Structure 1
Amino acid sequence: MTGRSDNRPTIVITGASSGIGQATAEAFARLGARLVLAARGAEALEQVAAHCRTLGGDAIAVPTDVTDAQAVRRLADRALAFGRTIDVWVSNVGIGAVGRFQDTPIESHEQVIRANLIGHLNDAHAVMPVFLRQRFGTFINMISLGGFAATPFATSYSASKYGLRGFAEALRAEVADQPDIHVCDVYPAFIDTPGIRHGANYTGRKLSAPPPVYDARKVAAAIVDLARAPRDTTVVGSVAQFVRLGHFVAPGLSGRVMARFIRSSLDRAERVPISDGNLFAPPRDAGGIDGGLRSPKQRALVGLAAVAGLALAAVLLRSKPAYGRTGHAERGPALPPPTPRLEHSR
């Protein structure tokens, strides 16, 4: 989209100051959308909004802590004043605390639940009445592969993602009689964002993500696709599909394997200070989209993991229903067809 018109969709994105949120904001900006960007860090958020304006979007920054229900309602009001409707709400906030359960302060566990679960409930509670009045709208709920399988040494994160999955399924059922209101879940694999660097670390060891690690722009492209053609469940990255299948077949084993892998990785990692990270305050650095986790070797492993995942799926699913995206396409906001520039980011 190169011109501007009155029928441009209004997109609200929380957690928009870095990582997947920033990548998503930039993807929609290239399509000329109206963007209402929210996060705790005002300076980083305004930088993203300013860049989105240079890309062709009409963007405003609304500093918001999603754990504050009143603040989220004000965000929805600001979005309506800015765009007259809210077409898509991307509920994207996610924080983490890594460490043994008993070594992680209970206040940190609580904060992860507040941001990752209650924050998403606050988002939906603020926008769902708007959708019902409009009789249309798409709520895109960012979960993770942690919604399919347990995440040892990040127990509150795991609890929040399992909770998000149940919340979304229940809410989706409640609005099933509204054909143009959609609740969409996104389950990314490990994504290269500043999230691990920004998160709380109670292990005393440097944290990383196991390969393959995917580009956040791949998730952003999937979100844009959902805005055009909503569907219930979208998995991004073949590894997430592999984890989902593995947990379905042997849930206890998959958790033990993951715990063993994490212990081994931590034992080899360099020592770093204990930190609360961004749990209770925005990160000091702006972050950007990329986290610097993808090495050439990790990129090569993406292809190998895809082949392995497809091979396992073929064996497991011979006698089982197909997994993957569910639901069907319905009317979404008036977004144009993909541009070559956006397609290149996948």
Structure 2
Amino acid sequence: MSRVVVIVGASSGIGRATARAFAERGDRLVLAARAATTLAEVRAECAEAEVLTVPTDVTEPDALGTLAGAAVERFGRIDVWVHTAAVMAYGRFDELPEQVFDQVVRTDLLGAAASVRVALRHFRVAGAGTVILTGSVLGHITAPYMSAYVTSKWGLQGLVRAVQQELRDRPAIRLCLVNPGSVDTPVYQQAANYLGRVGRPPAPIARPQRVARAIVDCVDRPRREVSVGRLNVVLRAGFTVLPGVYDVLVGPLMRAAGLSGRPVAAHDGSVFAPNPAGEAVHGGHLPDLRQLVFGPVGAVGAALRRRLG
């Protein structure tokens, strides 16, 4: 039986990969994001599914209530609500413009809270439903130069735990949190930047499709929290057990692995407005496996052709 799935943040990265994953299952989709043009592209990518697109800015008052109303009007119900919308900003806390910090928190934490609120109101009436949020390993640890994002993800962790406790008397309503580590999405290039160096995900980097599979799996096997990333457990252990050592190492590691050498002028990225040209499933942070495999083969072939005349 196909489900009706609302995906907030479906235009890029994990959300876009998740839309494709649910479409392959034959579920009916309600896709929401700020850029209508990109939503149209995602709808075309999910051609095997019945899709409704609703341009939505999670920071606008009652935007998510309007989204839910559109979903119910079209499909009659909502079974699953997935929230992946997020923006990011790089910069030292005292050098990051106040309005940028506030907008990241407004989008990543308050926007997610609004999603949970709207979804639960529908699910309490229906008697069942699944809400899935995307958090981050940065909801359990910290990293310098990402204060707004870290604040949001720590707040989201607390919100989810509190609401899960409140839902103990409604076992048919599930709230799940999927916490990825580094993921190959465009969010790093799209981030606001007041640090002077372009950000990047530190290795090891997961593909967005891996996170999407974890999200889809939560519909069939709901869990309170799912971690996606080989080093997540190690990072959390180091942060908790050896906080002094962690704090000494995290700055140099962040500068070496979490920032590229490319200089960049200060800018607001996609924090206040979408950048459709930069939206995609992948961020280009992983090597092209075809080049890794066929590049050397092609080079050998070219050398042999030269030797053979």
Question: 249, 257, 269: which is aligned to 2:249?
Answer: 257
Q: Is the 8 A contact 1:20 1:217 kept in 2?
A: yes
Could you tell me whether the CA contact under 8 Å between 2:238 and 2:246 is conserved in 1?
A: yes
Letter of the 1:104 partner, please give it.
L
Q: What residue is the counterpart of 1:270 in the other structure?
A: 262
> Does the Cα contact within 8 Å between 1:8 and 1:32 map onto a contact in 2?
yes
* Equivalent residue, structure 2, for 1:84: 76
1:33 to 4, 27, 42: 27
Q: Count the aligned residue pairs.
A: 290
For residue 307 of structure 2, what is the aligned residue in structure 1? Answer: none
1:153–1:259 Cα contact (<8 Å) kept: no
Shift of 1:284: 3.7
* CA distance in 2 between partners of 1:93 and 1:267 (Å): 22
1:205 corresponds to: 197
Q: Among residues 229, 232, 237, which one is paired with 1:240 in the alignment?
A: 232
Q: Give the match for residue 339 of structure 1.
A: none
The answer to whether 1:45 aligns with 2:39 is: yes
2:274 to 267, 282, 291: 282
Distance 1:250 1:45, change over 3 A: same
2:93 is matched with which residue: 90, 101, 107?
A: 101
Counterpart CA distance in 2 for 1:160 and 1:252 is 23
Quick one: distance in 2 between partners of 1:169 and 1:267? 32
Q: Which residue identity does 1:80 align to in structure 2?
A: V
Q: Is the 8 A contact 1:138 1:182 kept in 2?
A: yes
- Tell me the distance in 1 between the aligned counterparts of 2:156 and 2:228: 17
Cα deviation, 1:14-65, whole Å, max 9, x if unaligned, reads 110010000000000001101000110110011101211x2x2111110001
CA RMSD of aligned residues (A): 1.7
For the 8 Å contact 1:88–1:227, the answer to whether it is kept is: yes
Larger Rg: 2
Deviation at residue 251 of structure 1 after TM alignment: 3.1
- 1:63-82 to structure 2, matched below 5 A, reads 63-82=55-74
Q: Which amino acid aligns with 1:257?
A: L
SS of structure 2 residue aligned to 1:234? strand
**Whole-Å separation in 2 of the counterparts to 1:276 and 1:19:** 19
Work out the CA distance in 1 between the residues paired with 2:278 and 2:55. Answer: 14
Structure 1's unaligned 5+ residue stretches are 1-6, 301-346
Matched, 1:156 2:148: yes
Distance 1:255-1:62 versus aligned 2 partners, 3 A rule:
farther
Bigger mean CA deviation after superposition, 224-233 or 244-253: 244-253
Q: Partner residue of 1:11?
A: 5
Partner-residue secondary structure (3-state), 1:68: coil
C-alpha distance in 1 between matches for 2:259 and 2:216: 40
Mapped contact 2:181–2:206 kept (Cα < 8 A): yes
Q: Deviations along 1:211-266, whole A, 9 cap, x unmatched?
A: 11110000001111001110101001111222122222123432442222223458
Moved more, 205-214 or 273-282: 205-214
Amino acid at match of 1:32: G
TM-score by length of 1: 0.80
TM-score, scaled to structure 2: 0.90
